[in-house]
Amino acid sequence: MKCFFYYLWVMIRPLGRGICGGSYLVDFGEIDNLFKVGGGGRKRKLENVEETIIAEIEKNDYHSHQQIADMIQEKHGIKVSLKSVERLLKKTKSNA
């Protein structure tokens, strides 16, 4: 991940005015372009089915992360890691 100053330098560099070239962007109301950072990243696998999984966990008797991961695979066709199940349980515990 690149630091903020790298992005700032990339925005100012094409202006050919050095560091003072940033005032050019401010004068034309393009200050927002200095602070835009990409919001990429991977979408969560369990985003749409999280509530149904939590309801299933509360309704039935699961003793391990592996049992929960197997249930998610059977019912929703989504293969998740044990760490993902752990994060899901941690999130539900903090919300409860």
Max mean pLDDT among 10-24, 32-46, 63-77 falls in 63-77
Residue 25 CB partners (closer than 8 Å, separation 6+): 11, 12, 15, 31, 33, 34
In Å, how far from its chain's centre is CA 48?
Answer: 15
Q: Which residue has the tokens 């998740």?
A: 80
Domain definitions of the chain by residue range:
4-34, 50-95
pLDDT reported for residue 83? 95
Judged on CB neighbours under 10 Å (0-12, 13-18, 19+), 21 is middle
Position with higher pLDDT, 9 vs 59: 59
Residue 23, pLDDT > 60, answer no
Indicate whether 31 pLDDT > 90. Answer: no
Q: What is the pLDDT of residues 40-89, one digit of tens each?
A: 788 888 888 999 999 998 898 889 999 999 999 999 999 999 999 999 99
